[in-house]
A and B are shown apart, each in its own frame.
Chain A
Amino acid sequence: MIRYVVKRFLMLIPLVLCITFVVYGLMSLAPGDPASIMLPSNAPQEQKDALNHKLGYDRPFLVKYADFVYNLVFKGDFGISYRTQQPIINEFKTRLPISITLAFTSLTLAACIGIPLGVLSAVKQYSLLDTIPSVMALTLSAVPSFWFGMMLIYFLAYKLGLFPSYGMGGIEHWVLPTLTIAVVYAAEILRYTRSSMLETIRADYVRTARAKGVAERTVIWKHAMKNGLLPVITLLGSSFGAQIGGAIVTENLYNLPGLGTLTLVSINMRDTPTVVATSVIFATLYNIILILVDLMYAFIDPRIKAKYSR
């Protein structure tokens, strides 16, 4: 088991290195250089060249890339941003907590809404308790999250003035961004939970439990839940990982200074080191979460555990 986990973590290293290469390569193909974007367009060419030289942008691709990887691997340093000319790590210190908090709170909320409603609608299949949540989930899963966010801003922030619609501050600033992400994910979690539970409820071992005289409530919560929620855990894990990077649109909408906004700005400014650094962070976090999901799986399902210890 421990060997399996260590192996998974070691496999992360080549994976992340490949990602840095692909992203670095892609970014270097992009037209435009950082100096032309940062300086006013009428700035003389010599000034632009001088800035590009200062940033180290004018070196050959492989030299730049090797330098980046060397710093990353041996010094644990992401290097200097072209845009701010400050160490990239400084930006992460303030931005990463914002993105993680947003992903964590919104997915926790989504799970708290989606899972119980999903179980309920599976148990009460064909009744109103099934139809209403299912139709709502079907509708919400077709709603673009940024549009849902705009509607929240319009009604809750602008019309009713309940919550601020942009920027950082107290807890009230988190309400709308969290809701924006949570509601759309809750719909997806509900649909997933429902179909997985429907399948589990019909399983032979659930019938065995009923035949033993187990009360219906215990049948659902003890026998069906553990099995039925396994796929939902995977969905939650991968959504959490994806959400850390995928909040680009939401952060943009609410003007939150998270990693998503940083990525977007850096891409537009051709700030290659920052883009690669955020990609590394995203990929690492995402994959660590996937490993944790697998561990949780093994913890719940002894069959998976047996597979890992082999």
Chain B
Amino acid sequence: MKKNRRQSRAIVRLKEIWRRFCKNRIALAGFIVFMCIMMVVVFADVIVPYEMTEKPSPPDRLTPPCAEHPFGTDEFGRSVFARIIHAAPNSLFIGFTVSFGSLLVGGTLGIACGYFGGRFDNLIMRFLDMISALPGSLLAIVMVAVLGPNMRNLIIALIVGHIAGFARMCRSVALSISEQEYIKAAKAGGSSDLRIIFRHAVPNAASTLIINTTMSISGVILSACSLSFIGLGVQPPKPEWGAMLNDARQYFNGSPYLMVIPGLAILITSISINMMGDGLRDALDPKLKS
């Protein structure tokens, strides 16, 4: 009974958020585009079989876009269309795994630091300071190079690079929440630490976390593509947008479509996620919006 009421209250809140989200035309457009991309990911094999990404066809090499090859063919005569479609799952998988992975690891560390404080907090935060003292993608590059360039290692390296940011964010959220009266009240009421964290702190931090995680996905996709671009990511012959751009560099005089199309694919994916993220922020936290 009590649980039902709690559920229905959550549904009402979600409906309200959804209504506000839909009122924002930019966010809705981003959402629709993103859903289309997700459809492509799910039905990739229906749209065009995976074999097409590998099948070389020397006579057709470097054919500009035509009826038979909608996006043209690359230097081996492979269909760029098929490769673009089948690269989408890779990029999105990396984006989501890294964002949620680093949210999980960084978030746990950060909330624990903020909540327990003291020596534990100090130790973890100094360690994270050290990781983030290496600027930009350097750590990720070294890690991928050491572990060997492939998708799994790329994900691990990017997660390590993103942990510090998430941990800091969660720590400050946890700190500000633990100062609030309702946490003090819960403590005074004798709730256990874990119960306080999961029943009170997490739900109240949720909107900040959701917004930042969504916003980070497109950044992750961009970093993953740029690592693949310099040869430290998903390895050929697997299709990947950044790697395709790298291959295209040699042929851009004659076949500019080879570099325009993968770039547009990255752009559309990350912009749709950004638009959604902006809308989500406004819908979840209306006070941030003017």
CA distance A169 to B142 in the complex (A): 30
**Contact code string B129-146 (vs A, CB < 8 Å = 1, else 0):** 110011111100111011
Q: Is B229 an interface residue (CB 8 A)?
A: yes
Size of the chain B interface, CB-CB below 8 angstroms = 40
B40 to chain A, nearest CB (A): 18
| Segment from A80-88, A261-269, A301-309 that makes contact with B | A261-269
Interface segment, one of B7-15, B192-200, B262-270: B262-270
Cβ-defined contact, A31 with B148, below 8 A: yes
Check if A246 is an interface residue, CB within 8 A of chain B: yes
Contact partners of A26 in chain B: CB under 8 A: 142-143, 146
Known: A142-B274, A244-B135, A249-B229; 16 extra A-B contacts, CB below 8 A, are A15-B133, A22-B130, A23-B134, A27-B146, A142-B222, A146-B226, A147-B259, A150-B249, A150-B263, A154-B256, A242-B135, A243-B135, A249-B230, A267-B142, A283-B135, A286-B135
The interface of chain B, by Cβ under 8 A from chain A, is 129-130, 133-138, 141-143, 145-146, 148, 218, 222, 225-226, 229-230, 242, 245, 248-249, 252-253, 256, 259-260, 262-263, 266-267, 270-271, 273-275, 278, 290
* Known pairs A125-B290, A142-B271, A150-B263; A19 contacts B134 (CB<8 A): yes
Give CA–CA (A248, B253) in the complex, Å: 24
Is A144 part of the contact surface with B, judged by Cβ < 8 Å? yes
Q: Which residues of A contact B (CB under 8 A)?
A: 15-16, 18-19, 22-23, 26-27, 29-31, 125, 138-139, 141-147, 150-151, 153-154, 158, 198, 202, 241-246, 248-249, 252, 263-264, 267-268, 275, 279, 282-283, 286-287
Q: How far is the CB of A125 from chain B (nearest CB, A)?
A: 7
A218–B76 Cα distance when bound, in Å, is 62
For B245, give the chain A residue with the smallest CB separation: A147
How far, in angstroms, from A276 to B190 measured CA to CA in the complex? 51
CA distance A158 to B230 in the complex (A): 22
- A-B contacts, 7 of them at CB < 8 A, read A142-B267, A150-B263, A243-B135, A248-B230, A263-B138, A275-B142, A282-B134
The interface residues of chain A lying within 8 Å CB-to-CB of B136 are: 242-243, 245-246, 248
B contact residues around A15 at 8 Å (CB): 129-130, 133
Q: How far is the CA of A144 from the CA of B270 in the complex (A)?
A: 9
